[in-house]
Amino acid sequence: MWKTTLKLVAAALVCGGCCCHDCGAAEVVEEVVVVAPESKGTMTAAAPLKKGETTTHAAAHHTKPKAAEARKLGQKLVDGICKNDSKAFCGTLCDNMKKHFTAKHFNAHCKQLRDKMGKVVKGEFLAELAHPVFNISVWKLTFIKEIPGKKPEERQALFQVVTGEKDGKMQLLGFGFI
Residues 95-120 pLDDT 10s: 889 988 999 999 999 999 999 999 99
160: left (phi over 0), alpha (psi -120 to 50) or beta: beta
What is the arrangement of strands in the sheet containing 119-129, beginning at the earlier edge strand?
A: 119-129, 135-145, 153-166, 169-177
pLDDT in tens, 133-150: 899 999 999 999 999 999
Q: What is the pLDDT of residue 169?
A: 85
The C-alpha R_g of the chain, in whole angstroms, comes to 18
143 CB-near residues (< 8 Å, 6+ apart): 117, 118, 119, 120, 121, 154, 155, 156, 157
Residues lower than pLDDT 50 in the chain: 1-50, 53-63
What domains sit in the chain, N to C, each tagged with a CATH number?
Answer: 2-35+66-177 (3.10.450.50)
pTM strictly above 0.85:
no
